[in-house]
Chain A
Amino acid sequence: MISSIIFIALVIAASALFAKNVKTIIRNIKLGKDIDRSDRKKERYLLMAKVALGQSKMVVRPVAGLLHIIVYAGFIIINIEVLEIVLDGIFGTHRLFSFLGSFYYGLIASFEVLALLVLVSCLIFLIRRNVLRLKRFSGVEMTSWPRSDANYILITEVLLMSAFLIMNAADSSLQNLNSFHYTQVGSFPISGLFVSSLSSISESGLIMLERSLWWFHIVGIFAFLNYLPYSKHFHILLAFPNVFYSKLEPKGQFENMAAVKKEVALMFDPAADPYAAPVEPQGEPLRFGAKDVTDLTWKQLMDSYTCTECGRCTSVCPANITGKLLSPRKIMMDTRDRLVEVGNGIDKNGKDFNDGKSLIRDYITEEEILACTSCNACTEACPVNNDPLSVIIDLRRYLIMEESKAPSEWTGIFTNIENNGAPWQFAQADRLKWKDE
């Protein structure tokens, strides 16, 4: 009875805390500018099924892809059992669903196999990161926190899976002892293998072991749930909406800035009065491009929270590969870190808070922004369909249009295009000269 009450309190606390954190993240994402991604719904659902659920872009790298699918599918499926655990906890029952008979036995047996696979996969992941030290998991942005974050998650999963298997072994021993409360639920294919090693433990010892592991398992899961919003691991939830709201246009198509469109249309309108006072935009002063995270769209901000820090983007980026400072993963992580900072600031100081900092320079330098070739390798590689390139371009627009901070060669091509319709200094009248050469 007492344990049921403690358990119910725990469930409520864990869910409430999680809801609060998720709300903060949603609020932060909504700090972004509006962008309409509500069209072509059917295509979006299909894309989500393929890329988020089917992980089509993960398997481009077969080893990591396969291991990731095991961990992901295994973890999700095993968590069906969490439902039973929660109900058991509330009602003080044990293996509530065991009345399902052989179906239940089969389920438990497959959970065990999956648990082992997840465990092994996580160990391999840990080895890849910490022993083999794959290059993809290093880089300037991979400071101690992102590295630890990845390890915490993997270690937690290893512990949870181990607890699950040992718990089953203890359970199984108790069943063999015909212990009260421990109904027979068929054979345990994995934990059954080390039941014998528990043979020296007394019945009450086994019950102790089984109970503590049960609590460890479920408390661990609640803790994990509440760790998610602080971690790159939040992608297991955000990957779905993030892929759903992907850009569906060809990758090469950059949006035509609406603010600029208005001004240009005025210049091309023969009816426009050149001496009329420029129309003052209402509300906030209009800004071309992005100086800070609030100048980006909510989708770009959602990208940043969805980023898994996997580094697939950076590992194919031509600028990064040739030793430049630019790393598309860093662009995404900086965007998120700055957004979290702005969000916390708003929580503390109210909506209009201003810390005098910005995404540009305080986080991302000009050098990084200018090095991008707009090749789209990063967007192609990203398993959750992030678009680091769009952030880079928006920052560039701010640099060029608001601060006029173009490298001198670019100023030159701008002048040439404006004056003679080509980036080089050739007269437009000579455009057909090639014909007679």
Chain B
Amino acid sequence: MSELKVPTMAEMMASEQNPDVLFWVGCAGSFDDRAKKITRALVKILNNVGVNFAVLGSEESCTGDPAKRAGNEFLFQMQAMGNIQVLNGYEIKKIVTTCPHCFNTLKNEYPELGGNYEVLHHSEFLQNLINEGKLTIQGGAFKGQKITFHDPCYLGRANDVYEAPRVLIEKLDAELVEMKRCKTNGFCCGAGGGQMFKEAEKGNKEVNIERTEEAIELKPDIIATGCPFCMTMMTDGVKLKDKETEIKIFDLAELIAKANDL
């Protein structure tokens, strides 16, 4: 296993260094087995490009997003104030994250509480690296593969980021195929609004099954996404539909790490 270089802010401070960007890993990225792979993939890319970044490590805490969406504003603001103290203490200016929920909360809801940062989803951050000529994606590994992109609600509709993920996929030399419900009409994976953490209300279908079926109709080789929760939902859906041998689910960071053989 290749060694990952993951400096923490505390270490950076100790050696009087300043990172250019903070990687906000998020709870899923830290603890969920599948999402940890996404975290590692992004770090591999950052290491490879030589991005000067750091993480908060054990000083990071939940942004409070699940609490807020579930109606517990009090807990959300407690979390936010705590995190803002830490972030402002380190004088953080720029944040990249692989979780659209953290992204949305940090970007939109923290400023009013005193936390002002430039916040980027990793798809935007990677696109910037490409535009700056720092990152090149080697096509080939995915040449001719059919990839469909599932828009995470908190990246797409919530924040109007539709292009960056698609630009990345196109760089893979793959064939990007769109589901009928995509971009502004994207269909939820079923995890948002606190649903990830509880049983669904009575209905006739699970939301993730509805979405997975739509993706499967396209007969893609890969379903790409940019959210650890969508990842869980789509993976479960594909498993339930018995398609896990034909269809793989990858995060954008993983696709790029694979393409570049990292």
Let me know if A14 is at the binding interface, CB within 8 A.
no
Let me know if B112 is at the binding interface, CB within 8 A.
yes
- Nearest CB in chain A: distance from B45 CB, A: 15
- Nearest CB in chain A: distance from B152 CB, A: 10
Minimal Cβ-Cβ distance residue in B for A252: B158
* B201 and A432 contact, CB distance less than 8 A: no
Let me know if A230 is at the binding interface, CB within 8 A.
no
- Nearest CB in chain B: distance from A164 CB, A: 39
Asked if A431 meets B72 with Cβ closer than 8 Å, knowing A370-B201, A375-B157, A417-B62, the reply is: no
* A373 and B195 contact, CB distance less than 8 A: yes
Q: Which of B107, B157, B184, B191 has the most A CB atoms < 10 Å from its CB?
A: B157
Let me know if B74 is at the binding interface, CB within 8 A.
yes
Let me know if A131 is at the binding interface, CB within 8 A.
no
- Nearest CB in chain B: distance from A390 CB, A: 12
**Which residue in A253, A322, A326 is a CB contact (below 8 Å) of B108?**
A253
Set of chain B residues within 8 Å of A260, measured between Cβ atoms? 73-74, 77
* A434 and B72 contact, CB distance less than 8 A: no
Q: What per-residue 1/0 map shows which CB atoms of B153-165 lie under 8 Å from chain A?
A: 1100111100000
| Among A121-129, A263-271, A272-280, the stretch in contact with B | A263-271
| Among B14-22, B63-71, B137-145, B247-255, the stretch in contact with A | B63-71
- The A400-433 residues at the B interface (CB cut-off 8 A) are 400-401, 406-407, 409-410, 412-414, 417-418, 421-424, 426, 428-433
**Which residue in A263, A321, A377, A432 is a CB contact (below 8 Å) of B74?**
A263
A322 to B31, CA, bound (A): 30
* A372 and B193 contact, CB distance less than 8 A: yes
* A432 and B203 contact, CB distance less than 8 A: no
Let me know if A376 is at the binding interface, CB within 8 A.
yes
Let me know if A117 is at the binding interface, CB within 8 A.
no
* B27 and A424 contact, CB distance less than 8 A: yes
A377 to B184, CA, bound (A): 8
* B62 and A422 contact, CB distance less than 8 A: yes
Let me know if A310 is at the binding interface, CB within 8 A.
no
Asked if A321 meets B210 with Cβ closer than 8 Å, knowing A253-B108, A434-B29, the reply is: yes
* B113 and A435 contact, CB distance less than 8 A: no
A110 to B87, CA, bound (A): 65
Set of chain A residues within 8 Å of B62, measured between Cβ atoms? 417, 421-423
Let me know if A251 is at the binding interface, CB within 8 A.
yes
Set of chain A residues within 8 Å of B224, measured between Cβ atoms? none
A423 to B63, CA, bound (A): 10
Minimal Cβ-Cβ distance residue in B for A432: B57
**Which residue in B6, B32, B43, B200 is a CB contact (below 8 Å) of A371?**
B200
* A422 and B27 contact, CB distance less than 8 A: yes
Our count of residue pairs bridging A and B at CB distance below 8 angstroms stands at: 220
* B201 and A435 contact, CB distance less than 8 A: no
Set of chain A residues within 8 Å of B36, measured between Cβ atoms? 434, 437
Interface size on B, residues (CB 8 A): 75
* A249 and B201 contact, CB distance less than 8 A: no
Set of chain B residues within 8 Å of A323, measured between Cβ atoms? 202-205
* A375 and B192 contact, CB distance less than 8 A: yes
Minimal Cβ-Cβ distance residue in B for A369: B71
Let me know if B127 is at the binding interface, CB within 8 A.
no
**Which residue in A254, A264, A321, A410 is a CB contact (below 8 Å) of B198?**
A410
Minimal Cβ-Cβ distance residue in B for A425: B31
* B30 and A434 contact, CB distance less than 8 A: yes
* B71 and A322 contact, CB distance less than 8 A: no
Minimal Cβ-Cβ distance residue in B for A404: B72
* B71 and A264 contact, CB distance less than 8 A: no
**Which residue in B6, B71, B185 is a CB contact (below 8 Å) of A435?**
B6
* B202 and A367 contact, CB distance less than 8 A: yes
- Nearest CB in chain A: distance from B64 CB, A: 7
* A422 and B30 contact, CB distance less than 8 A: yes
* A376 and B157 contact, CB distance less than 8 A: yes
* B31 and A422 contact, CB distance less than 8 A: yes
* A324 and B74 contact, CB distance less than 8 A: no
- The A271-330 residues at the B interface (CB cut-off 8 A) are 288-289, 316, 318-319, 321-326
**Which residue in A377, A398, A399, A432 is a CB contact (below 8 Å) of B157?**
A377
* A322 and B61 contact, CB distance less than 8 A: no
Set of chain A residues within 8 Å of B56, measured between Cβ atoms? 431
Asked if A374 meets B184 with Cβ closer than 8 Å, knowing A253-B108, A322-B204, A431-B25, the reply is: no
A410 to B69, CA, bound (A): 11
Minimal Cβ-Cβ distance residue in A for B153: A375
A263 to B75, CA, bound (A): 11
Let me know if A235 is at the binding interface, CB within 8 A.
no
Set of chain A residues within 8 Å of B202, measured between Cβ atoms? 323-325, 367
Set of chain B residues within 8 Å of A398, measured between Cβ atoms? 71
A268 to B74, CA, bound (A): 13
- The interface of chain A, by Cβ under 8 A from chain B, is 249-254, 256-257, 260-261, 263-265, 267-268, 288-289, 316, 318-319, 321-326, 367, 370-377, 380, 393, 396-401, 406-407, 409-410, 412-414, 417-418, 421-424, 426, 428-435, 437
Q: Which 4 A-B pairs have the closest CB atoms?
A: A252-B158, A421-B61, A323-B204, A374-B193
User: What are 13 A-B interface contacts by the 8 Å CB criterion?
Assistant: A252-B104, A257-B73, A322-B190, A322-B203, A322-B210, A370-B198, A375-B188, A400-B70, A401-B72, A414-B67, A421-B62, A423-B62, A432-B58
